[in-house]
Amino acid sequence: MSFSSEDLAAIDTPAVLIDLDVARRNIERFQHYADQHGLRVRPHIKTHKLPAIAEMQLAAGAVGITCQKVSEAEAMVAGSRAITDVLITYNIVGAEKLEHLKALARKVTLSVVADSRAVVDGLSGAFRGEPQPLTVLVECDTGANRCGVLTPEAAEALAAHIHASPGLVFGGLMTYPPAGGEAAVERFMEEAKSRIEARGIVVPVITSGGSPTMMHAAEAPVTTEYRPGTYVYNDRSLVSRGVCGWDDCALNVLATVVSVPAPNRAIIDAGSKTLTSDLLGLTGYGHVLGRDDIMIDQLSEEHGRLVSQGPIGLAVGDKVRIVPNHACVVTNMVDAVVVTGDGRATPEKWPIVARGKIV
Amino acid sequence: MSFSSEDLAAIDTPAVLIDLDVARRNIERFQHYADQHGLRVRPHIKTHKLPAIAEMQLAAGAVGITCQKVSEAEAMVAGSRAITDVLITYNIVGAEKLEHLKALARKVTLSVVADSRAVVDGLSGAFRGEPQPLTVLVECDTGANRCGVLTPEAAEALAAHIHASPGLVFGGLMTYPPAGGEAAVERFMEEAKSRIEARGIVVPVITSGGSPTMMHAAEAPVTTEYRPGTYVYNDRSLVSRGVCGWDDCALNVLATVVSVPAPNRAIIDAGSKTLTSDLLGLTGYGHVLGRDDIMIDQLSEEHGRLVSQGPIGLAVGDKVRIVPNHACVVTNMVDAVVVTGDGRATPEKWPIVARGKIV
């Protein structure tokens, strides 16, 4: 990262550091792959929650952004006039959220997903009196076992229901792919698309997403659009999957050693309130850059415990830089990040405007 | 909980619900135990991060509060004039934090801990020119293997160093006890106390803490003060340890079912951004009240997956109440909680003023 040692010495810890030059390289790498394969890019902003980074993604060629909740989309749209096209990949349920959705639809090109008639009927009830219909995609479960209709037949039936619903227009198919599941995505989506088109309904978009498998996105050629999130920053989880290296990690946590109670143990001032307890299948809570021998084996809310097989070699007051297991959840823990790169002489503090937007 | 079904229907989700009547009962239960055993109570506010609940704890008989970071203490002190005595159970390291600590010491009776000469020397350097000395306790590792000096001899040496340091006054001994470790606390603290007193240095306070073992605090009679945190709300972790029952849980997460993709599976709108990934040794991410058959077996940031061995019996739009694994970390995820009880006719929204205070 391009923070100087003077920069790092001056930053109060724990702090979340962002290198915009690394982020830009990550953005351009996937945009280039997508351009080569005729895929549109619609990044998920959950990873950065920053309008300024969404603007970098749009400037690189993204067609719009993806958000997960209405309040998250509201914060992003309020933060940048460049954000004019938003997909919320979530079932929107409840009167209050539907009111917010209607207000947002008057400001930007908006689409959402649904995986049941109950959700579609709620959306139709809210939008049947609106000047513009709402675009609704069918969420499909291609193996991730979270939300989504389970079969192409069910996708067809729900697409037809959306198509027939006042206030709505059918926008296509959406999925979050299972691990290594491009073949499953292709099989499901091809069949669902054929069935829906056989009814005379157009399928304008087939959108998939997820950073772990993004460089294989073109292996499901039925896909028209891809929604990577973590790729902008990368993290220990993606390094462990071989998707990137440590130098591609644009987000680091800077922490200070506050205790060295035993020769092989040190305690830092970043705990689960900064690094989070997300393991994503890994052992330990992050990677200390330059110290492959160290394991972060335990977190309390404000303490991280570092252990080494040999001498820990750290003193009270030393600073360490950590690549967290999962970048997106770390962004959500802090009110601001410390940003460098893009020609800046000194680091800047950027508030995370879409942090904590859970409704 | 005393939220009515009309209250619950009107609350947008996910939301963190607090029942003040249950919290008050929890506060009074431990205060009564402590009073009976001559123990002072200094609750850790990390669990609620709310000045109004600290005021309830002080009104019940607490001698002051415990915070974990300087910024957390600042937010609490700014939020209530009743908060006049604060212990920060953390090694304060770094120029910026020491400046904040000095400012705080001019407002309230303040004490901190240290477990090394490096930390003590930093504190002394900051406070040697101040009008009032800073009270510093020695943090002792009685088996939790986090921070703390490892032996009574080391505690004695550090106490003598604090005693001899300009700007500081030795305040006693502090520990976070290991699981079931009252005997270990008693053994360590008795010896450290004798050694320090043999040098002619008074040991005014011996403070221990932790909700899991709080009802055994008196089994370490050397202890003068106890610092429970989670006890005010309780959580699934404490229920699983037999410390309390579900009716004693003053914090619930309210969530809405957004998808029922399979007969035995439902998805709610609370994920790791609300419930957090903290497991605390448990299986699953929380307990759905009234549904012992349901396991929350997987979280994404905004999705919680509920599975049952039989039919899930939930529909899109249904609301569920969840006792999270760990109450303290849930408080930190939201900007506000929804509060009932204490004679309120309708729920109120309270901002979490000490949320996200990590520095």
Chain-wide mean pLDDT for chain B?
A: 97
Residue B210, pLDDT > 70, answer yes
Q: According to the model, what pLDDT value does residue A1 have?
A: 53
Residue B1, pLDDT > 80, answer no
Residue with tokens 């304008």: A204
How many residue pairs bridge chain A and chain B with CB atoms within 8 Å of each other? 172
* Two structure tokens written together for A316: 């009270």
pLDDT digits over B154-178, tens only?
A: 999 999 999 999 999 999 999 999 9
Which residues of chain A form beta strands (DSSP E)?
Answer: 15-19, 40-41, 65-67, 85-91, 109-114, 134-140, 168-175, 205-208, 225-226, 251-262, 265-268, 286-288, 294-299, 304-308, 319-324, 336-340, 348-351
Chain A: closest CA distance from residue B140 (Å): 10
Q: Which residue of A has its CA nearest to B67?
A: A302
Q: According to the model, what pLDDT value does residue B48 have?
A: 98
Q: According to the model, what pLDDT value does residue B2 have?
A: 84
Residue predicted with more confidence, B2 or B307 = B307
CB contact under 8 A, A358 and B270: yes
pLDDT tier for residue B181 given thresholds of 50, 70 and 90: confident
What are the beta bridge partners of residue A299? A304
Neighbours of A219 (CB within 10 A): 15
Give me the CATH topology for the region B5-17+236-351.
Lyase, Ornithine Decarboxylase; Chain A, domain 1 (2.40.37)
Report the DSSP pairing between strands B15-19 and B40-41.
Answer: unpaired
Report which residue type is found at A149. Answer: V
| Residue environment code for B34-45, b if the CB has 16+ CB neighbours within 10 A, otherwise e | beeeebbbbbbb
Sequence-distant (≥ 6) Cβ neighbours of residue B308 within 8 angstroms = B264, B265, B291, B293, B294, B295
Residue B246, pLDDT > 60, answer yes
Rounded distance, CA B351 to CA B126, Å? 33
CB contact under 8 A, A261 and B316: no
CATH of domain A37-231: 3.20.20.10
Rounded distance, CA B359 to CA B346, Å? 35
CB contact at 8 A, B39 and A120: no
Residue B285, pLDDT > 80, answer yes
* CA B122 to chain CA centroid, nearest Å: 26
**Minimal CA–CA distance to A113: which of A123, A105, A104, A103?**
A123
Q: Which residue of A has its CA nearest to B95?
A: A12
**Minimal CA–CA distance to A208: which of A119, A82, A113?**
A113
Yes or no: is domain B22-232 CATH 3.20.20.10? Answer: yes
Chain B: closest CA distance from residue A288 (Å): 18
pLDDT digits over B101-135, tens only?
A: 999 999 999 999 999 999 999 999 999 999 999 99
B interface test, pick of A237, A301, A355 with most B CB neighbours within 10 Å: A301
Q: According to the model, what pLDDT value does residue A2 have?
A: 84
CB contact at 8 A, B50 and B350: yes
Sequence-distant (≥ 6) Cβ neighbours of residue B301 within 8 angstroms = A46, A68, A328, A329, A332, B271, B272, B273
Residue B256, pLDDT > 90, answer yes
CB contact at 8 A, B229 and B43: yes
Q: Which residue of B has its CA nearest to A306?
A: B146
CB contact under 8 A, B261 and A150: yes
Q: Which residue of B has its CA nearest to A259?
A: B147
Per-10-residue mean pLDDT of chain A, 359 residues long, equals 89 98 98 98 98 98 98 98 98 98 98 98 97 98 96 98 98 93 95 98 97 94 98 98 97 98 97 98 97 98 97 98 98 98 94 98
CB contact under 8 A, A146 and B298: yes
**Minimal CA–CA distance to B278: which of B296, B294, B265, B291?**
B296
ipTM above 0.90, yes or no: yes
Nearest to B316 among A12, A93, A267 (CB): A93
Helix (H, G, I), strand (E, B) or coil at B115: coil
Report the DSSP pairing between strands A225-226 and A304-308.
Answer: unpaired
Nearest to B356 among A147, A256, A335 (CB): A335
- Using a CB-CB distance cutoff of 8 angstroms, which residues of chain A are in contact with residue B329? 272-273, 277, 301
Neighbours of B106 (CB within 10 A): 10
Q: Where are the domains of chain B?
A: 5-17+236-351, 22-232
Residue B179, pLDDT > 90, answer no
Q: According to the model, what pLDDT value does residue A164 have?
A: 98
- Using a CB-CB distance cutoff of 8 angstroms, which residues of chain A are in contact with residue B274? 358
Report which residue type is found at A76. Answer: M
